[in-house]
Amino acid sequence: MTDSVKTAQPRLEQLGDYPFARLRMLLHELSPNPDLAPIDAGAGEPRLPLPGFVAPTLQQSMQGFSKYPPTSGTMPLRQAMAEWLQRRFSLRSLDAASQVLSANGTREALFSVAQALVNPEAGEKPYVLMPNPMYQIYLGAAVLAGAEPWLMPCTQESAFAPDLERVPEQVWRKTAFVYVCSPSNPTGWIADGAYYRRLLELADAHDFAIVADECYSEIYWQQRPVGLLEVCAQIGRDDYARCLVMNSLSKRSALPGLRSGCIAGDATLIARFARLRSYTGPATPLPLQQVAMAAWRDETHVERHLQVYRQSLRAFFEAYGEGTYPAGSFFVWLPVEDGERFARAAYVQQAVTLLPGAYLSAEDADGRNPGTNYVRAALVDGPEMAAELARRLRSIRM
């Protein structure tokens, strides 16, 4: 065991344990109710059947395992991503070679983008803005890149929007980039056109970049989410200046194990990010790039998945009897008195695993943790299980 001061990384020490490690610690001395089949609503992992094209495509591309894959993705894959983005978001143009990159799942890309966009040698520590609660990668990325995270509270009062108008002028001036998550994990909030337009205005005024995490864009209750590139196209900003958008097959195609995502936007930022990535090397194996290409080109399975998620939401809320449907994503952000206590009770009484909201959030500038009084439940096992989950949550006694 090495415990050397020379190899310690103070920025890493600053980060707490990852939410799922905290969840394991929370539950490890407890036993789930042995009379009930366990329900794991803790992890946001889609559990739908594999789309039919996966196995045959993989079978035909096995030979690719004998080659190093290109980190940026093969040109046919980037082309398939560009075509999907153009179709889905009504873009006039998107050049696969200069405006699109493949990611090995977006988690790594959302992390490493901070290394490309934060100048650690700036005189004053730059800010990276993010929603709170948030996908925890944003926080780790900002801290490890040497930036100061600025947390934007997303509460019921603001309809879970990260309020741009509450960010002080001196913070905007030092902002390197802003993470937006739409649809949001965990609150389900969706950015509308006006929100993205205002953010673009602020980005131009204060010279910062926007990283939009749109991984849940294909999972929504009623209104199909608008995308950042789509808003750029609507206002004639066809170079997508200052914008990087990330999307993924993990949620859209229920293929989290494939590790395939895409990055698209501003050619200058893409070039800078591609250079960083040529060193870090997060390449998706070639046979998996082939499967990814098939997945970006097919909408049938995506429509099927959407129906299942909608049925699950409806089943959950009908059985639960109250609450607000999330506008997007497959998460229910459930208000409770104390998220940790509720998660423990759910496990012991009902064999249900939930994530305490506080594990997805942090104390903001007001000294408040907006996740403390919530739990997150992922509806990833279909409508019947969603209804069963709601009934069990209903019967928890605190």
Outline where 62-105 has alpha helix (H): 75-89, 96-99
Within 10 Å of residue 121's Cβ, how many Cβ atoms?
Answer: 6
Q: Are 137 and 179 in contact (CB under 8 A)?
A: no
Strand pairing partners for 333? Answer: 376
Going by DSSP bridges, is the β-strand pair 175-181/209-213 parallel, antiparallel, or unpaired? Answer: parallel
Shortest distance, position 173 Cβ to ligand PLP, whole Å: 28
Rank residues 44 and 265 by Cβ distance to ligand PLP and give the closer one. Answer: 44
For residue 356, cis peptide bond before it (omega within 30 degrees of 0): no
Rank residues 254 and 345 by Cβ distance to ligand PLP and give the closer one. Answer: 254
Under the binding rule (CB under 6 A), the answer on residue 112 touching ligand PLP is no
Rank residues 258 and 334 by Cβ distance to ligand PLP and give the closer one. Answer: 258
For 63, the 3-state DSSP assignment is: helix
Binders in 242-261 for ligand PLP, by CB under 6 A: 248, 250, 256, 261
Rank residues 256 and 265 by Cβ distance to ligand PLP and give the closer one. Answer: 256
| Joined tokens for residue 303 | 């429509």
Binders in 122-141 for ligand PLP, by CB under 6 A: 135
Under the binding rule (CB under 6 A), the answer on residue 185 touching ligand PLP is yes
Residue 108 CA to residue 273 CA, distance in Å, equals 12
- Among 19, 32, 44, 225, the residue binding ligand PLP under the rule CB under 6 A is 44
Under the binding rule (CB under 6 A), the answer on residue 376 touching ligand PLP is no
Rank residues 107 and 242 by Cβ distance to ligand PLP and give the closer one. Answer: 107
Under the binding rule (CB under 6 A), the answer on residue 218 touching ligand PLP is no
Residue 394 CA to residue 320 CA, distance in Å, equals 6
**Integer CA distances (angstroms), 157 to 130, 154, 160, 161, 223, in order:** 18, 8, 7, 9, 21
- Among 72, 106, 217, 353, the residue binding ligand PLP under the rule CB under 6 A is 106
Under the binding rule (CB under 6 A), the answer on residue 305 touching ligand PLP is no
Residue 28 CA to residue 14 CA, distance in Å, equals 24
Under the binding rule (CB under 6 A), the answer on residue 107 touching ligand PLP is yes
Distance of CA 110 to the CA centre of its chain: 8
The residue range among 101-109, 191-199, 320-328, 377-385 that interacts with ligand PLP, by the rule CB under 6 A, is 101-109
* List of residues contacting ligand PLP (CB under 6 A): 44, 105-107, 110, 135, 181, 185, 213, 215, 248, 250, 256, 261
